[in-house]
């Protein structure tokens, strides 16, 4: 059964669902090993302990997963973008230069992840253009490093939610005094609260220009740095190859960007669009920081730099 959705548009809509990023590895009995970057990982059942992920039927790694008895899910930590990009590219030897140890069934276990789940093959289900692979978890490591996220076609990191502000009438004087003392002393908590509040109004302002956050980031980065190659841009804004190319295509179609021998340059219409975005950013900055003196802002910047 086929749907009439535009695949690229459908993918973009799915990208609103934030996920973690994993590298799923396996090894055949005769020693052929592979690893695939996947964000389709999810938990299924606690008792028995089951998890799933899906692999494109056209992936060159399907055969390895079919022939292996086990697979390992390596949940990537926030500083592992290079590993994610590495395992998202086809290669004859995905493990050359990578630190790993052998897990159950020979499945490679990567170092310094957030968590690792070693699974035996449990069930393979037909899922359209993907195979859904369900695994029974036989061992796991709960390392707890801050995870890498994937949202809207770009990598992200977790900012802990600061929670809803209690209504004035709900906070008793005693509770308030205790809370205020503890929280006011905790600069990390205060920074997070501030970033959340800043973002809450800024992002809708940016979206009202009709651009996705990631497209806005591309325009602002190219406006600041001039011409960049796709790989330089990829590094600066933290996007996987495929998503970057899709966004480049959109911006080229709008004639805001030209691509010449891998070099990306804004057109005059693109520069104009970037200026609009800078104005939005400036407006928000003025709204929040406009009442502070230059001296106060200099100290603020100094503290931010040091942190
Ligand atoms: C963030 C991210 C998530 C991905 N998720 C999946 C996935 O869930 N399933 C999949 O088959 N491919 C996924 N891919 C694409 C594969 O990583 C890529 O096609 C594959 O590793 C290429 O190697 P192969 O030739 O061994 O398949 C993802 C890529 C990225 C960057």
Query: In sequence order, which residues have a C-beta less than 8 Å from that of residue 211 and are 6 or more positions away?
Result: 219, 273, 277
3-state SS record for 92-113: CCCCCCCCEEECHHHCEEECCC
Distance CA 111, CA 86 (A): 15
Q: What is the pLDDT at residue 170?
A: 55
Q: What is the pLDDT at residue 84?
A: 96
Distance CA 307, CA 295 (A): 19
Burial class (CB within 10 angstroms; exposed 0-12, middle 13-18, buried 19+) of 120:
middle
Q: What is the pLDDT at residue 173?
A: 59
Q: Extract the tokens encoding 86.
A: 């590495």
- The model carries a pTM of 0.82
Q: What is the pLDDT at residue 8?
A: 83
DSSP H or E segment with residue 120 = strand 115-127
What stretches of 143-233 adopt beta strand conformation (E)?
Answer: 148-151, 154-157, 228-229
Q: Is the CB of 54 under 6 A from ligand 1?
A: yes
Give the rounded percent of residues in the chain with a pLDDT score beyond 90: 63
DSSP H or E segment with residue 132 = strand 130-142
Q: What is the pLDDT at residue 190?
A: 87
Using the mean position of ligand 1's atoms as its centre, give its distance from the Cα of residue 135 in Å. Answer: 18
Q: Is the CB of 64 under 6 A from ligand 1?
A: no
Q: What is the pLDDT of residues 223-268, one digit of tens each?
A: 999 899 988 888 888 788 888 888 898 899 999 999 988 899 999 9
Using the mean position of ligand 1's atoms as its centre, give its distance from the Cα of residue 14 in Å. Answer: 15
Q: In sequence order, what are the beta bridge partners of 135? A: 51, 121
Phi, psi of 34 (to 5 degrees): -145, 170
Structural domains in the chain? Answer: 17-151 (2.30.110.10), 175-307 (1.10.10.10)
In the predicted model, residues of the chain with pLDDT beneath 70 are 1-3, 161-180
Q: What is the pLDDT at residue 167?
A: 58
Q: How many CA atoms lie within 13 A of 96 on its CB side?
A: 4
Number of residues in the chain: 307
Q: Is the CB of 273 under 6 A from ligand 1?
A: no
The residue with tokens 């995870």 is: 147
Q: What is the pLDDT at residue 163?
A: 62
Position in ligand 1 atom list of the atom nearest CA 85? 31
Distance CA 224, CA 270 (A): 12
Q: What is the pLDDT at residue 157?
A: 86
Q: Is the CB of 39 under 6 A from ligand 1?
A: yes
Q: How many CA atoms lie within 13 A of 200 on its CB side?
A: 10
Q: What is the pLDDT at residue 99?
A: 95
């Amino acid at each position: 059964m086929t749907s009439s959705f535009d695949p690229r548009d459908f993918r973009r809509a799915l990208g609103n669902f934030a996920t973690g990023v994993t590298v799923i590895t396996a090894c055949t009995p005769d020693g052929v090993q592979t690893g695939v970057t996947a964000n389709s990982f999810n938990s299924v059942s606690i008792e028995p302990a089951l998890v799933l992920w899906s692999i494109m039927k056209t992936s060159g790694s399907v055969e390895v997963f079919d022939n292996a008895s086990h697979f390992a899910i390596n949940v990537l930590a926030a500083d592992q973008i290079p590993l994610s990009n590495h395992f998202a590219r086809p290669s004859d030897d995905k493990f050359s230069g990578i630190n790993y140890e052998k897990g159950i069934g020979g499945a490679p276990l990567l170092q310094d992840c957030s968590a690792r789940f070693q699974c035996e093959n449990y069930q393979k289900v037909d899922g359209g253009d993907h195979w859904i692979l369900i695994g029974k978890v036989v061992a796991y490591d709960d390392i707890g490093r801050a995870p890498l996220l994937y949202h809207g076609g770009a990598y992200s990191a977790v900012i802990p939610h600061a929670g809803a502000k209690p209504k004035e009438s709900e906070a008793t004087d005693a509770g308030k005094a205790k809370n205020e003392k503890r929280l006011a002393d905790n600069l990390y908590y205060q920074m997070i609260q501030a970033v959340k509040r800043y973002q809450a109004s800024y992002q809708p302002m940016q979206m009202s220009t009709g651009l996705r956050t990631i497209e806005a980031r591309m325009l602002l980065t190219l406006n600041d740095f001039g011409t960049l190659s796709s790989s330089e841009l990829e590094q600066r804004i933290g996007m996987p190859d495929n998503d970057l190319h899709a966004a480049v295509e959109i911006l080229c179609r709008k004639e805001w960007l030209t691509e010449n021998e891998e070099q990306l340059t804004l057109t005059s219409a693109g520069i104009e669009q970037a200026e609009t975005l800078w104005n939005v950013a400036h407006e928000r900055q003025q709204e929040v920081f406009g009442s502070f003196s230059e001296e106060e802002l200099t100290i603020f910047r100094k503290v931010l730099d040091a942190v």
